[in-house]
Structures are given as C-alpha cells and as structure tokens.
Structure 1
Amino acid sequence: MTLAISIHDLNHYFGQGQLQKQVLFDINLEINKGEIVIMTGPSGSGKTTLLTLAGGLRSAQSGSLQVLGQELCSATAQHLTEARRHHGYIFQAHNLHSSLTALQNVRMGLELHPKLSTTEMQTRSAEMLEQVGLGNRLNYYPDDLSGGQKQRVAIARALVSHPQLVLADEPTAALDSKSGRDVVNLMQTLAKEQGCTILLVTHDNRILDVADRIVNMEDGRLVNVGSTSRGDAGITSLTG
C-alpha cells in the first residue's frame, strides 16, 4: 500500500547551544494513504510538534520525514510552501479571521491554488460550507457562529482544496460532547469521500473509535504505534 507519511529516525530540537532541548526522539512511523490515525499522549509529549513538522509548518532537522513522497527534513521555506499545497490543517482554536465571513475564511484554503478563478473559488467554498451544514451561514462572521459552527468552517477550509492529507490538532477540545462527535464524524465522512489521509491529535477518548489506528506518544517518543486495522486492540492499548 502507498504511504502518505514515512518517518524514520526523526529527532527534533528547540533552541540553540546550551539552551538546546531535544523534543522528539528517534520517531519511526508509517501511515498509509487513506488511513485515519489518532495520536494521543500527555500534554507536552511532542504530539503537536510532530504534527507541525508533518504539516510543513516548520522544517524537520534530523532523520527522514517524507510526506506524500516529498522529503521535508532540512526543507527550504519554498519547499515547505509547495508541500502545504497538498495539506489541510485544522487547528485547535479554529483560527478563523474575525473580519472575514465564513465564505471568505473557507476561500482562504484555496489561495495557494492560483490556477482557480475567483468564481471557481467562490463556488467551491460555498459548496463546501453546504456540505458541512452551513449553507445558510455563508455571510456570517465568526463572532456570530457557535463553537461547533466555527469548527465546521475550519473543517471546510481544510477540505475545500481536496487535500491528500488532513492534519488536525485537538479539533474537539473546545466543543461539547455532541458537537465534538459531529465534527469528527464530519471529518471522517468527507475525508473518506475525498480519499485523503487523516492524522489527528487528541486527548478526547470519546472519538477514538473513528481511528483505523491509534499511536501513543510520551516524552517525545512513540511508545505504541498500534495495529494497522481498526479494532478494539488499538483502543485497549491506549486506555488500559
């Protein structure tokens, strides 16, 4: 099966000189295309750092990090920008621009695709918001939307470009149980329809069942990469 992410002997550091601190240690992980993988572990264990490296938000320093066939270790800023064209990123706090409408926020997910016309961008953004159940909120500003609706806009923005890879950092953290479940089910459905891979960081035990595989991180190390098929074994290894 083709790999979406292939990580080998990855190490990462913050700071320089005597202040340098290692935050990731010998990470080895392979994620198949189309797979939904949940990564969990204590706060400060390195989950978000690994997610940002995979998402091309910063350059990996040591080892190998191949995402969709591109090596991102020691990548230039231009190389990372090119890699991000194929990613969708969902942040914990949704990161919507308060001065833009829902439609305008979603359209930002297409700004790295200059071949699309303005009309095409508008149409695709509106269609994506319709798919996430916000077809009647196109011109609403974030301050006029509920927490669940804001996160749906963030999901629409991440998926509107039909990315090959979706990276989500605690997408249900600010939501109640029902809204969180709705958001994750929506991500799962739309991603499966588009055939993309999902790597999701969470502390939310209520959504573990959507994963094909669960990986655990502690103190900058992967301590369990789970099985490659959906089932109780992966969930038991996390919660037991």
Structure 2
Amino acid sequence: MPEPIIAINRVNHYYGSGYLRKQILFEVCAEIQAGEIVIMTGPSGSGKTTLLTLIGALRSTQEGSMRVLGQELHGASKEKLVKVRRDIGYIFQAHNLLNSLTARQNIMMSLELHNDLSEQSIRRRAAAIMEAVGLGDHIDYYPEQLSGGQKQRVAIARALVSEPKIVLADEPTAALDRKSGRDVVEIMQRLAKQQGSAIVLVTHDNRILDVADRIIHMEDGHLSSLSPVPT
C-alpha cells in the first residue's frame, strides 16, 4: 500500500499556557489515503476543527507526528507550512468570498500563487471550474447576486481549481438547505474523485454521511472510532 497522504501519529495539542493551559487533542492517530473521502463527526468542542487546521498546516503541530503529502509538520518552519498549504484546498462554513470581486475573480485569486500559470491559463481554468460546479452562466456575478448555495459552489470551485491533493472542508453545508447542501457535497465528491484528491470533511449533517468512504468520530479530543459508511 502506498504511503498515506495524511499520517497522524500520537498528536496532542494544547491551548493557553501556565495555569490556563488546556489539552484539546489526546494521542490522535489516523491515516488517510489519496482519493479517500473521510467524514469527521462529533459534538461541538470535541477538537474536530483543531485537528483539521493541523492537517491543513494552518497551525503548528506541537506534539506527535503529522505527515502531510510526505512532509513532517511537527517542527516545520513557516516557509515549509506555506509550501504544504499550496497543495491543499480549504472550504469553510462561511464562503469567505470577497464581495468586491466577481465569482471568476474570487476563483482566480487562488491561482495567483502558482507562478507557472499565465493570465490566460488562469482565466480559462476559472471558467472551466465554474462550468463544473454548474455556474458557467454566473461567472461575472458578484457574491451579492448569488444565493447561499451558489456562493458555496463558488467557494468549492475556488478550493478545487488548483487541483489540490487534499481538500479540507469544515461544516460546508451548515448554512444551506437540504437540496443545496446535498448538491455542494456531491460536487465536491465528483471533482475530488476526478482529481484523485483526499477529502476530510467535518460535519454535523447526518444527511451527507453516505458520500464518505470512512467516518471517524471525535469525542473530547479523542479519536474514538473509525467506522465504515452506514448502509
């Protein structure tokens, strides 16, 4: 079996210092393969988002081993963390679109770190990904002209346009109705499978669990179970 795209071994994490120091994650271990869709469930405050930000190199790993894309993140420099982040797409509950930019321009921003792409190539890829998420005719719309579900589709397009090796999604359907939530998750699933990306998705939405290859459960900072998808 190839090396996991994400390999977590005995990771602990703390917030605060001194008397206020509080442990958030306890001896977390997990492996995720390329092309796999893993959903993380658990109550609020259980450590799910903290673990997601560690996988995404958005904060430093304090204890244990966090290998992402073959790179050890424990003790990694800021430069190394930035380099790893370039191969990761992020999708959050809030779409975080810039209201002063069109949908196309919001998507193009995520390609600006890729110096090997020409302006023409960036515009072409942005248009293609908008077609893929079903918004080809909304490419020049501003966020205020889009519905909640459409904004989240643009956010998915922005995360996937650079063909990242890992996609991290934190409650991407929380603000959406049932149909819109289902639509955006199926778009994520289809595009990530086409690109061979691994998806780690944090959710409280039981309606989308069936898209996962595996479900992991966090409870009080412990990874308490790794379950097959319910049938």
Q: TM-score range by the shorter chain?
A: over 0.9
Query: 8 Å contact 1:4–1:68 — kept in the other structure?
Result: yes
CA RMSD of aligned residues (A): 1.0
Query: 8 Å contact 1:39–1:216 — kept in the other structure?
Result: yes
- Summarize the alignment of residues 21-32 of structure 1 with structure 2, pairs less than 5 Å apart: 21-32=22-33
> Which residue of the partner structure matches residue 193 of structure 2?
192
> Which residue of the partner structure matches residue 13 of structure 1?
14
| Number of positions where the alignment pairs a residue of Structure 1 with one of Structure 2 | 230
CA distance in 1, matches of 2:205, 2:136: 28
Deviation at 1:226, TM superposition (A): 1.9
Q: What is the TM-score when the length of structure 2 is the normalising length?
A: 0.97
- Structure 1's unaligned 5+ residue stretches are 233-240
CA distance in 2, matches of 1:166, 1:176: 22
Return structure 1 stretches of 4+ with deviation > 6 angstroms.
Answer: none
- Summarize the alignment of residues 85-164 of structure 1 with structure 2, pairs less than 5 Å apart: 85-164=86-165
Q: What is the TM-score when the length of structure 1 is the normalising length?
A: 0.94
CA distance in 2, matches of 1:66, 1:97: 32
Q: Given residue 213 of structure 1, which amino acid in structure 2 is its aligned partner?
A: R
Q: Secondary structure at the match of 2:117?
A: coil
Q: Given residue 212 of structure 1, which amino acid in structure 2 is its aligned partner?
A: D
Deviation at 1:10, TM superposition (A): 0.1
Q: Given residue 59 of structure 1, which amino acid in structure 2 is its aligned partner?
A: S
Deviation at 1:74, TM superposition (A): 2.1
Query: 8 Å contact 1:212–1:231 — kept in the other structure?
Result: no
- Are 2:37 and 1:36 equivalent residues in the alignment? yes
Q: Secondary structure at the match of 2:79?
A: helix
Q: Secondary structure at the match of 1:226?
A: strand
- Structure 2's unaligned 5+ residue stretches are none
CA distance in 1, matches of 2:58, 2:112: 16
1:148-180: CA deviation from partner (whole Å, max 9, x where unpaired): 000000000000000111000000000000000
CA distance in 2, matches of 1:163, 1:102: 19
Query: 8 Å contact 1:34–1:195 — kept in the other structure?
Result: yes
**Matched residues, percent identical?**
64
CA distance in 2, matches of 1:75, 1:96: 29
CA distance in 1, matches of 2:130, 2:188: 13
Deviation at 1:22, TM superposition (A): 0.8
Deviation at 1:73, TM superposition (A): 1.3
CA distance in 1, matches of 2:95, 2:110: 13
CA distance in 2, matches of 1:223, 1:62: 19
CA distance in 2, matches of 1:60, 1:96: 28
